[in-house]
Amino acid sequence: MSRFIIKSIPFKTRIALDEERPVLACDQTRASKILAGIQPHGPGAFHSKNKDERKKVSDVTIEGIDVTDSAVLYSVPVGLGQPPTAYSLLIDISNANTWIGVSKTYSSTSTTSTKNTPYEIYYANGAVAGTELQNKLTPDLLDFDQITLGGNLVAKKQSLGVASSAIGFSDVDGVLGLGPIDLASVPEIISPVTENLYNAGVIPTISLGMSYLPNAGTLANGDITLGATDTAKFTGSINYVPITVVEPSNKYWGIDADVTYGEDPDLPLLRLSAGVVDVSTTLILIASDAFRVYQRATGAEEDPITGLLTVTPEQFVQMENLFVTIGSETYELTPSAQIWPRTLNEIIGGEKDKIYLVVADMGSPSGEGLDFI
């Protein structure tokens, strides 16, 4: 049996915001879709037998939850073909389709096999809730080629879309779909990268981990690890808990947790509440009633420009820790962990020296099956 060598693949971070896409609105839009149960992509969704039912659109007008919803985007370098040509692809864990063709022309190599299978992918643009902005990708071909990640992870005969038109994507060459096979546009043909690597024995399990470097004055970069946990990226042991049984959180990476502000046991924000762990949500969102308790406890005021809470330097010194209990473990967020990096204030439309909090209003009350993200 071959020994698997862990290699973390570096990714770059880009904040995709403007006046029409403030960070809070992006996250609240995404939360409203999760609350509506749109496009489940958690462990429970992997085993769904009814693809049409999983893709059913509820009362929200935007159809999908995908990489274009996020206020923060992550891109990773990949090599296609042999010899490999370098491309920069967006990481999308809620989609299984990998495609290129935005800014760099695809060139066939000795490992290319063309199937001439047309297909389409529809992306929601992540605009304000209620505004339907769908981006349509219409590839000419569904090719198979070799894809190389991080130098030592090689997926042979990887399904690959080659776009003839792509709307709403910039600064990248396409998308790297790392979601489950059920989320592929043509699941009978498309094999996601993670499943392809696993079936070939390149990785021992279908898993994905992301780690982030502390901010040092620029956009934080990080690493993505496929097929294992990289012990160099954490201390202690990993805490495993069951997926919550509460809908709709159980359709995603949903967990049960308690959230408390400060040492006062009589000041809980959420108790035995269901929520979702979501890498594409930027802020810490909590239900509106819990948010109001947090706002009163911190003395924070809402900033009219960003919509985020702000505190004065004097209030920041007096802030207490935020405790999140998941299973048998309690995780502590110090006051510094509850604020937006001040070096990035202007990117979100804020003032350079203001203190903005990352705990924000989800826009819906507790008790509806999604109390936090």
pLDDT tens per residue, range 217-267: 445 478 888 888 888 888 888 889 999 999 999 989 999 999 999 987 677
Closest CA to 275 of 246, 241, 308, 318: 246
How much is the pLDDT for 57?
Answer: 32
Token digits for 225?
């690890």
Global pTM reads 0.82
Which residues on adjacent β-strands are paired with residue 9?
A: 224
- Percent of the residues in the chain that have a pLDDT greater than 70, as a whole number: 76
Mind listing the pLDDT tens digit for each residue in 20-68?
A: 678 999 899 999 999 998 877 777 655 554 444 434 333 333 456 666 6
Catalytic residue annotation: 92, 278
What is d(CA 11, CA 73) in angstroms, rounded to the nearest whole number?
A: 10
Q: Which residues of the chain have pLDDT under 70?
A: 1-8, 17-20, 44-68, 114-143, 167, 181-190, 214-220, 265
How much is the pLDDT for 145?
Answer: 77
Q: What angle do CA 40, 195, 123 make, to 5 degrees?
A: 40
How much is the pLDDT for 59?
Answer: 35
How much is the pLDDT for 344?
Answer: 87
Contact call for residues 71 and 282 (beta carbons, < 8 A) = yes
